[in-house]
Amino acid sequence: MRDKTIGRVDVSEPASISAGIAGRYASAVFELSKEAKGLSALETDVSALTGALKESKELSGLISSPLFSREDQAKAMAALSQKMGLSPTMGNALALMASNRRLFVLPQLLTALKDMIAEDKGEVTAEVTAAAELTKAQADKLAASLSKSVGKTVKLNTTVDDSLIGGLIVKVGSKMIDTSIRSKLASLQNVMKEVG
């Protein structure tokens, strides 16, 4: 009797390949926008597309589903570009990505473009997770403190996680500062295990 085991086959692109593809498109879009003195328009496009991807399950499905043909994706991207008033550079990039079946890397492309634009402006983004919503004064003070420490203008991307109990987790590049009460309690628990 033959073995009837059916294995899973992963047909998705590995993350590193996706990042490489997104990086190449992002570099091209960034350089073309910079040459055309259109970085502010590109920044607006990136922000608008990031918001659209977060809010629209249909758009997320369109870019990631293999069920849509190249033509369907291209038509949808052309309509989207026109409706959102995207710059010609971004519109052409989306059309090219659709024709090459590369729309699945759009989220990574947008992240890479955000990073390139921030680097060009001398900015860095700090990912901040707080136990409660930060006030404007707290956010400004944190951004100023981080700016002084990293030597660049710091933008905060803040999320709230009440499981932290109190304090913050701040990530800037490869550095992470965890002052949350949850982490301090976990550390104390580990020390107590070692003693007992």
The CATH number of the domain holding residue 50 is 1.10.520.20
Q: What is the model's pTM?
A: 0.67
Shared domain for 22 and 115, answered yes or no, is yes
Q: Residue 133's domain spans which residues? A: 122-195
Kindly tell me the burial class for residue 12, based on how many C-beta atoms sit within 10 Å of its own C-beta (0-12, 13-18, 19 or more). Answer: exposed
CB proximity list for 72: less than 8 A, separation 6 or greater: 62
Q: Could you tell me if 74 and 98 are in contact, meaning their C-beta atoms sit under 8 angstroms apart?
A: yes
Shared domain for 128 and 172, answered yes or no, is yes
Cα(118)–Cα(124) distance, rounded to whole angstroms? 6
Shared domain for 108 and 128, answered yes or no, is no
Tens of pLDDT, residue by residue, the chain (196 residues):
444 445 554 555 466 778 888 999 999 999 999 999 999 999 999 999 999 999 999 999 999 988 999 999 999 999 999 999 999 999 999 999 999 999 999 999 999 999 899 889 988 888 999 999 999 999 999 999 999 988 889 989 899 998 998 889 999 878 888 888 888 888 888 888 888 6
Shared domain for 136 and 191, answered yes or no, is yes
Shared domain for 23 and 111, answered yes or no, is yes
The number of domains in the chain is 2
